[in-house]
Structure 1
């Protein structure tokens, strides 16, 4: 049995049973436990399973594309650490684009009240977090609002993004791999994210560790197109080295929100 066939069989077992064990898989597929461990490592790097003691559990990919209200309660501490570290990247009185996403919503909520900023966003939750702030000049991009992300997409959104030139873009993403770069679950949102990168002098991706090694349907940009990725201490350090070799700096936010460069 070739590796891709084993990987498919392992995924089917994991999704059917909720968990797989190395010893049982080795017997079932007639290979050594070491081979199964390598297979599980490969699947984990692709974001399909998560290693557990003696085996692995499946990663439910549907969570990534679920409603923002559901995703808001996942990896809360990690997202808060990332958003706090991102504050160090804010320009002094300049302009930023804040993308749609749960970590970027936390960043919007943490923006300082004593610094004047121009903020552009296509995210309704980000806009609502900033609408009453006197120190924020808020520009909301129109378009077709997707109910799952509560963000505008489409032709109007693209036209408005093309009219601005900002200092920094803070982006959310669903997948990061050295081979495929940045990806997300929806093509329309992928196109907006790509346009945001082009409209910004610097692009910073806010992504918790679960996004590393994951590939999604909509391609946003190669890693060379962005400057920095801020993630959390749960990230796979081998993947970090591969990502940095492709271009961006990776900053790891500590548990207290203090960044430490990987």
Structure 2
């Protein structure tokens, strides 16, 4: 297909907005140009603020970030969607005597509020706010994964929680994420947080990710899990149907709350 450079670049900008991520090779094939031409187009579009180049392709300009949001700010964002996600995730809790890992975050904290008192659940968490909430909860055996606490997320990180998780095998691990894409999996801005999340993924017999729709199609600096590591993603009704379809195509169960 013979398309002038400006028209092709406009079309590429539209594609990345619709798909969330594009691959250089696929775009080159679609437009009948070389991969070098596509890379030049992407450079032009990046300078214009349309997209951000990543390995092998590009994502929308706002989809890749190194900046974390403080827990207090996240608690105030999309609160109703997070409550709905937590309610749907509560249906995935194990039965009586079951064990649960709870990652830190505002959506997992909403799930902690819904833990039943009549199942005798064992709950392990590295989140100080979640631990404080569950410390006096009836019917819950609480195990706190200690370590250095990051003020930004109020979660324990470092070797201590990672080492402790290596000895645990929980029925279900409920994790939050800063970003999730079909191509790159689950990501977060901080390596220390990522290390604990990886350990939780390894320790859960079933891994359920709680991610409001703003996290879908976003990438952050550090990957902590591939989609193959995840059994289910619970999101809200504003999730991009195209991203949901691609997650399901990758074998992930997607529950829209």
Q: For the superposition of Structure 1 and Structure 2, which TM-score range results when normalised by the shorter chain?
A: 0.7 to 0.9
Taking the TM superposition and a 5 Å limit, the aligned residue runs for 1:54-203 are 59=62, 65-93=68-96, 94-203=98-207
8 A Cα contact 1:174 1:185, kept in partner: yes
Query: Normalising to structure 1: TM-score of the pair?
Result: 0.76
Distance 2:127 2:181 in 1: 25
Q: CA deviation at 1:247?
A: 2.4
Query: Normalising to structure 2: TM-score of the pair?
Result: 0.78
8 A Cα contact 1:64 1:174, kept in partner: no
Q: CA deviation at 1:31?
A: 3.7
Q: CA deviation at 1:179?
A: 1.0
Give aligned pairs, total.
217
Are 1:237 and 2:241 an aligned pair?
yes
Q: Structure 2: 5+ residue runs without aligned partners?
A: 22-48, 51-59
8 A Cα contact 1:64 1:71, kept in partner: no
* Structure 2 counterpart of 1:207, from 201, 206, 211: 211
Computed over aligned residues only, the root mean square deviation of the Cα atoms, in angstroms, reads: 2.5
Change (3 A) 1:63 1:85: farther
Distance 1:122 1:40 in 2: 41
Give per-residue Cα distances to partners, 1:60-117, cap 9 Å, x unaligned.
Answer: 9779612101111111111111000001001112000000111000000121233321
Q: Structure 1: 5+ residue runs without aligned partners?
A: 1-29, 50-56, 254-262
Change (3 A) 1:137 1:241: same
DSSP 3-state at the match of 1:89: coil
Distance 2:15 2:87 in 1: 31
